[in-house]
A = this chain, B = another copy of it.
Amino acid sequence: MPVLLAPDQAPSLPDLLSAANTVGLDCVVVESSVSVTPRIGGIGSLAAAGAQEISFLSNPKLAAQLGDCQAAAVILRPEDWRDFQAGHADTPKWRTVLCSQPYLMYALLAQWFDQQRIARMATGIHPSAIIADGAQIDEGVSIGPYAVIESGVRIATGTRIGAGCFIGPGCTIGRDGILHPRVTLYQDVRIGDRVILHSGVVLAADGFGFAPDPTREPGAWAKIAQLGGVVLGDDVELGANTTVDRGAIEDTVLGNGVKLDNQIMIGHNCRIGDHTAMAACVGVSGSTQIGRRCTIGGAAMFSGHLTLVDDVEVSGGTAITFDILKPGRYTGVFPSTEHKQWQHNAAALAQLAQLRKRLRAIERALDA
């Protein structure tokens, strides 16, 4: 991992634990033969952490890595510590931090280091940013170089707009959000609080709406102007190069807490329910509604005008072409095999309806 804090800025182990442990976990440093209190400049895995880093054991399968771990300190559960001691006579090199939930403690530490990093980012409005007259930029908003903010925009306090972002006319962005460099918002996007948009995100480009226009030429298309907007709830996060199109008439809407990974495409008029999460490369065709708390695997694909209820799980790579009205997990992936075997199976699959007929014929013959 990159060094996050230089030694002179790194906190001591006890200071770090008390600063990061905002939820009051049971977290105790075991007194040991390691006499110096280490300074902690970052987090590392058990296998890779160095003498300025803290590590943790959350997956018991990795316990074998404790013996050679070079970290300054390791967080682990009391029972895992007992097991380690049972198998090792020597005191480990690392300071021992006992905690009933090592993974949660890691998450809190990671958050703390991330906060230090964010705190070092430039604040204020860069002089090269172009902000239209009448845009309403609250106190405490940061705007990076070469960003362009159009008329009628409102941005609430604490939000950071990265270098080269374009915020189209009439957009509103809530408080404490982060738009990383080169995010593009067309006009009429409304964004809640604490929203994170990664680089390359494009919100409210025109939906894909065309009507056949044979008056010009056979096969020609007439564009249907896309007049709706895009609405994101609070606590939404969208990954790099993800796109959400504007609605044709009404808005395209992502509920509170929706998390989308990179390179996802949400078509016009879609509605995605609160806390639904999608892994990368998913495509959702226009006017499809997905419920709350759904989890969608990478590269899944949805036809348009579908309805999915709450609490649906879709496996990666699955094409959903019909409504899903019952919670549960749904899958449709061609199982991969060695190429030769696939060739045989695929050839048979191309005749499958015929095979079924032949089977039925045998059954009838035997019945007779």
Give the interface of A toward B (CB within 8 A).
1-2, 4, 42-45, 48, 103-104, 107, 110-111, 113-114, 117, 120, 128, 130, 144-146, 148, 162-164, 166, 168-170, 180-182, 184, 186-188, 196, 198-200, 202, 205-206, 208, 210-211, 217-229, 235, 237, 239-241, 243, 245, 247-251, 257, 259, 261-263, 265, 267, 274-275, 277, 279-281, 283, 285, 292-293, 298-299, 301, 303, 313-321, 328-339, 341-353, 355-356, 358-359, 362-363, 365-366
Contacts and interface: CB of A to CB of B under 8 A. Distances in A.
Contact of A208 (B206, B280, B292, B318): B280
Contact of A205 (B188, B262, B293, B333): B262
A341 B192 CA distance: 40
Contacts of A358: 359, 363
Contacts of A333: 319, 321, 332, 334, 342, 346
A341 to B, nearest CB: 7
Nearest to A44: B249
B2 A229 contact: yes
Closest A-B pairs by Cβ, 3 of them: A332-B336, A344-B353, A219-B293
Nearest to A170: B2
A339 B164 CA distance: 44
Contacts of A228: 1-2
Contacts of A280: 208, 265, 267, 283, 285
Contacts of A353: 341, 344-345, 347-348
B316 A285 contact: yes
A320 B336 CA distance: 6
Given A265-B280, A279-B208, A317-B319, A202 B293 contact: no
Given A148-B164, A336-B319, A262 B243 contact: yes
Nearest to A322: B336
Nearest to A282: B281
B337 A331 contact: yes
Given A292-B219, A366-B365, A241 B239 contact: no
Given A146-B146, A316-B303, A339 B329 contact: yes
A329 B334 contact: no
Nearest to A361: B363
A301 B283 contact: no
29 contacts: A2-B170, A2-B251, A107-B225, A110-B224, A113-B225, A120-B169, A128-B130, A162-B166, A166-B181, A202-B262, A205-B239, A206-B237, A219-B274, A221-B277, A239-B245, A241-B241, A281-B281, A299-B301, A316-B321, A318-B334, A319-B336, A320-B336, A321-B336, A330-B336, A333-B334, A345-B350, A345-B352, A348-B356, A355-B356
Contact of A245 (B262, B314, B329): B262
